[in-house]
Amino acid sequence: MNSPLLHRHHLMNTAHRPAQIFIRGEGAWLYDAEGRRYLDWMQGWAVNALGHAPAPVAAALAAQAGTLLTASPALHNAPALELAARLCQLSDFDQVFFASSGAEANEGAIKLARKWGRLHRAGAHQIITFGRAFHGRTLAAMAASGKPGWDALFPPGMPGFARAEFNNLESVERLIGPRTVAVMLEPVQGEAGVIPADAEFMRGLRQLCDQRGLLLIVDEVQTGCGRTGPLFAYQHYGIRPDIMTLGKGLGGGVPISALLATDRVSCFEPGDQGGTYCGNPLVCAAALAVLETLTAPAFLETAWRHGELLADGLRSLSREFALGEVRGSGMLWALELGRNTAPLIAAAAMDAGLLLNAPHPHCLRFMPPLNSSAAEIETGLSLLAEALAHYA
Ligand SMILES: Cc1ncc(COP(=O)(O)O)c(C=O)c1O
């Protein structure tokens, strides 16, 4: 039989992909067409909160697929109504808009802040974002991001953003002007290499936004839905943001994202925002199943304990191989290597049967499923040790 790889030239060349074709996933494990299995600590870049093909999501999708796939975003459907209510109940927000990707949710957050500025702040529209931030790949989300080199990629860039330094409150204060409407940040900068916002910085931002009449937007596309420990990472800090975006883990592998806002800020009117697939019942049913699992008794506590096991293991590997800092919380961690060996180590790990992400040449990122067992964490750590031994 001809390998489907023969067709790869028909795919646009947007990523360096290894030669394996992955055909099946089960929990923490991913299987290739040759029957080889890999412990997957990428999980679609922190998408599969419950691992591959989780039974509650599969069941919810099957039931919903046989009932109603899509009606119209201009008609009510029960899963979207229930999901919106559940998200509000579990968070500090009052209203939700559903979309399909993280970038799209952030696009909505930017529009909402701009509209609020038009209505309440005399047309203020500028949003302060941060160096090394990642908010997605639409043009507005790219302009909001601080990924080095992105400014020059698809000129002209979208105006309306100013860039401050992460964890530096003064750098934010300096940028605030009459046109500033909001500050937008990831509570933990994931793509930058798992850099958490300091508690003092986050609380200072909330205070500053209150004093200067600005909105605080948290992009929890990566950190939300239990990834860093609590259901939402802003809950680490004891603050209440005005706007939050979710994606990735929310659908447990199914493309759904959400924009949440407090009543004070939620000012969209019919026609302001929409999309063909926004809030369709199929993806909302999947997200409801994910939330039900994440909020089951002891689920997040167990994930936290197993995340600590992972962190302890990473710290001891760091000592053994004379590597650098271990950063993160919950099931989102990074290991600094102190040298540019991350791509080599990720390749060696794949050979050993462990899928890892190297967001930077000097840093590895770990995103196991939240329901990883202690035994799976131990297995991953010993496969990682094998890979590290090659490049110590
Ligand atoms: C913090 C954050 N925001 C937004 C996005 C973009 O999400 P998506 O790729 O679903 O558009 C990502 C993706 O990695 C992310 O980590």
Strands 215-220 and 180-185: parallel
42 ligand 1 Cβ < 6 A? no
Atom of ligand 1 nearest to the CA of 223: 1
Chunk the chain into consecutive blocks of 10 residues (it has 392) and report each block's average pLDDT, rounded to whole numbers: 85 93 97 97 97 98 97 96 98 98 98 98 98 97 95 94 98 98 98 98 98 98 98 98 98 98 98 96 98 98 98 98 98 97 97 97 98 98 97 77
Among 219, 232, 242, 366, the active-site one is: 219
Which tens digits make up the pLDDT trace of 322-365?
Answer: 999 999 999 999 999 999 999 999 999 999 999 999 999 999 99
Question: Helices 281-294 & 55-65, crossing angle to 10 degrees?
Answer: 150
Our mutation pick for probing the ligand 1 site, out of 104, 135, 145, counting the most ligand atoms within 8 A of Cβ, is 135
Strands 22-26 and 29-32: antiparallel
Region(s) of the chain under CATH 3.90.1150.10: 297-367+385-392
248 is catalytic: yes
Q: Which CATH class is domain 297-367+385-392?
A: alpha beta
Region(s) of the chain under CATH 3.40.640.10: 66-294
C-alpha angle with apex 318: 312 to 323, nearest 5 degrees?
155
40 ligand 1 Cβ < 6 A? no
> Residue 172, annotated ligand binder?
no
> Residue 137, annotated ligand binder?
yes
Which tens digits make up the pLDDT trace of 35-62?
Answer: 999 999 999 999 999 999 999 999 999 9
Q: Which CATH class is domain 66-294?
A: alpha beta
CB neighbours of residue 62 within 10 Å: 11
391 ligand 1 Cβ < 6 A? no
Question: Helices 299-320 & 374-390, crossing angle to 10 degrees?
Answer: 20
> Residue 180, annotated ligand binder?
no
Burial of 2 by CB count in 10 Å (0-12 exposed, 13-18 middle, 19+ buried)?
A: exposed
312 is catalytic: no
Type of residue found at 149: G
* Closest residue by CA, ligand 1 atom 6: 136
Query: DSSP per residue over 205-268, as a string?
Result: HHHHHHHHT-EEEEEETTTTTTTTSSSSGGGGTT---SEEEE-GGGGTTS--EEEEE-TTT---
115 is catalytic: no
pLDDT of 3: 84
Q: Let me know: does 361 contact 21? Beta carbons within 8 Å.
A: no
> Residue 219, annotated ligand binder?
yes
313 ligand 1 Cβ < 6 A? no
Residue 68 φ/ψ, nearest 5 degrees: -160, 115
